[in-house]
Amino acid sequence: MIRIDAFSLGPLGTNAYLLSTEDGSRGIIIDPGMNPKPLVKRIKDMKIEAILLTHAHFDHIGGVEEIRKDKGCPVYLHALEADWLMNPRKNGSTRWPEVTGPITTEDAEFDLDEGQVLDMLGIQLKVMHTPGHSPGSVSFLWNNHLFSGDVLFKLSVGRVDLPGGDGNDLLDSIHGKLFELPDDVIVYPGHGAKTTIGFEKVNNPYV
């Protein structure tokens, strides 16, 4: 039995997700956000096996270094954004000085790629490369749970006007990959409330 907890972190309300074992001894984190104090408190006595990044925009990576150093866990990121962690211009943290100062982290230990399967916590997470919001955006699929980052939101989609964004790629990712999943798949987005694939197919005005 795997538990999923969501934490809305930082000034942009970025969703960080903690997947943990039933006994609470082990976990993995998807997108540790900015100002991760509530998440850090929750994992105080937990072994964190990995930090998985859907992409490397500043509001999704702000907590990486604090948690990685505290827990000694590796970070996974798509290779197309490998240099974004060390580059505040690429990760966008220099774009909104009123929101944050420049953010940098050490390189990710492992690359992510299309079709890769991650065996963690006794479950398998499939990596889906879903570019458009950013070139290295990925979504993670475990059974009927999809962690979509900033690709697909409830009744919305990720913005494509940031460096590396592409509207055609985004729609290809949504229609060609995410909307090929069963309607009952639950979508856990990078911002906002969770939804389902079936609901977004029928109701999302942007797709």
CATH number at residue 39: 3.60.15.10
Say what the pLDDT of residue 13 is.
Answer: 97
| Total domains, the chain | 1
Backbone angles phi, psi at 41, to 5 degrees: -65, -40
For 38-53, letters b (16+ CB in 10 Å) and e give ebbebbeebebbbbbb
In this prediction, residue 194 has a pLDDT band, given cuts at 50, 70 and 90, of very high
Domain that holds residue 87: 2-203
Question: pLDDT, tens digit, for every residue of 55-65?
Answer: 999 999 999 99
| Contact criterion met (CB below 8 Å) for 76 and 108 | yes
> 14-67, pLDDT tens digit by residue?
999 999 999 999 999 999 999 999 999 999 999 999 999 999 999 999 999 999
What's the pLDDT at 52?
A: 98
Q: CA 125, 12, 3 angle in degrees (round to 5)?
A: 35
Look at residue 141 in the predicted model and tell me its pLDDT.
Answer: 98
Mean pLDDT, range 87-113, rounded to an integer: 95
- In DSSP terms, 21 is beta-bridged to 2
